[in-house]
Structure 1
Amino acid sequence: MAMVRILMSLATIAILFGSTMAANHTVGAPKGRWDESTDLTTWAASETFLVGDSLIFVYSPNHDVLEVRKGDYDSCQTTNAISTNGGGMTIISLSSTGKRYFICGTGGHCASGMKLEVNTLATAPVVPPPVSPPVKSPVSAPSPKVAPKISPVSAPSPKNAPKISPVSASSPKSLAPTPKNAPKSSPAASSPETPSLSPSSSDFVPTSSPSSSPSVPSSADKISVIASSTVGFGLVTMMLFFM
């Protein structure tokens, strides 16, 4: 355990005094290290490896670090390793671009997930800053007070519509004068041979009004009256004589 603490201290010192242009990546840090309990795949996906960086493996004595090829990495084959490293701490320099593969040579550890794939890049990818979309103010419909009043184009109402008298043929009733409007024929205009004396006739007009003065009796009428009176007087005298 004391040896592991010393190696961890050395790794920390190497990180602090590393080159300013290069980065040192402690495998599995900060929550883990080179062992079976650390999710090394997730850790590698969260890191960016560039040319000139270094990998620092810190592990216990029962582990080691083998660099292998792609086929041996997939099958956890340890017999054809490119390099074998032990001692509790291993530093690998990433001097070229491309992928490199590392496994633990202890039996069954690679199959348990103690394997690491590293993709080294020439330069760090430029990640543009997130651009927030412009805030668009919601377009609200104008309120009834502000909205312009647009009167719909409609047909004119009967009150406002221009009065156009239709040109139609005049009916017989409109041409013939009604009894009320018909001119009344005067008695003077009628023929003297056929006077209209019927009181029920609507065209009869009395020749004299009730307010006219009575006519003066003629001399013939006076004589007839005197004669009638004389005869009557004689008859009365004879009746008195025979009584």
Structure 2
Amino acid sequence: MAMAFSLRVLLVAIAVVAMTANICCATDYNVGDSAGWNTGVDYTAWAKGKTFKVGDTLVFKYPVGAHNVIEVNKGEFEGCKATQGVPLTSGNDRVPLRSSGPKYFICGVAGHCDLGQKLTITVS
């Protein structure tokens, strides 16, 4: 009887740890690291090798007024044209990753996306 109780307690503890793993281990990613969110940064190279998970946060840092961040769909990303998204403009924009799948971000300032100021990631 005591062995069965101990086994149940152990299984419950494992389940609790598994359910809270994303919460305790969430990561804030400073997009572009020290270069921040700017033209002239290779965001494909920056994202390479990183594992983005639900619960993580992207932090876009840039001088207020110089850039913005817009989450877009794949077509808008490829064409560097935002048609629906609302730009974030704080200069310290935090974007929580709430669902899995591909995510696309561009700078909506004229010409910046065409200069490479765009990021695509896949959230697991």
Q: Fold conserved (TM > 0.5)?
A: yes
Instruction: Output the aligned Cα RMSD.
Output: 1.2
TM-score, normalised via structure 1 length: 0.40
- The alpha carbon displacement at 1:79 in A equals 2.5
Q: Does 1:35 align with 2:38?
A: yes
Look up the match of 1:80.
84
Bigger fraction of residues in strand: 2
> Taking CA–CA contacts closer than 8 Å with sequence separation of 6 or more, which of the two structures ends up with the larger relative contact order?
2
- Measure the CA separation in 2 of the matches of 1:53 and 1:114: 21
Is the contact made by 1:100 and 1:119 (CA closer than 8 Å) also made in structure 2? yes
Is the contact made by 1:72 and 1:80 (CA closer than 8 Å) also made in structure 2? no
- Measure the CA separation in 1 of the matches of 2:96 and 2:28: 9
The Cα offsets for residues 27-50 of structure 1, whole Å up to 9 and x where unpaired, read as 011x42100122111001131101
The Cα offsets for residues 28-83 of structure 1, whole Å up to 9 and x where unpaired, read as 11x421001221110011311011101000011210000111000000012322x3
Is the contact made by 1:36 and 1:112 (CA closer than 8 Å) also made in structure 2? yes
Look up the match of 2:56.
53
1:91 aligns with one of 88, 91, 94:
94
Look up the match of 1:24.
28
The Cα offsets for residues 163-197 of structure 1, whole Å up to 9 and x where unpaired, read as xxxxxxxxxxxxxxxxxxxxxxxxxxxxxxxxxxx
**Bigger Cα Rg:** 1
Displacement over 6 Å in runs of 4+: none
Is the contact made by 1:50 and 1:97 (CA closer than 8 Å) also made in structure 2? yes
Is the contact made by 1:68 and 1:101 (CA closer than 8 Å) also made in structure 2? yes
Structure 1: gaps spanning 5 or more residues: 1-18, 122-243
- Measure the CA separation in 2 of the matches of 1:42 and 1:72: 21
Q: Does 1:107 align with 2:114?
A: no
Look up the match of 1:158.
none
- Measure the CA separation in 2 of the matches of 1:113 and 1:79: 18
Structure 2: gaps spanning 5 or more residues: 1-22
TM-score, normalised via structure 2 length: 0.77
The Cα offsets for residues 128-183 of structure 1, whole Å up to 9 and x where unpaired, read as xxxxxxxxxxxxxxxxxxxxxxxxxxxxxxxxxxxxxxxxxxxxxxxxxxxxxxxx
Bigger fraction of residues in helix: 2
Look up the match of 1:173.
none
- Measure the CA separation in 2 of the matches of 1:52 and 1:22: 5
- The alpha carbon displacement at 1:97 in A equals 0.6
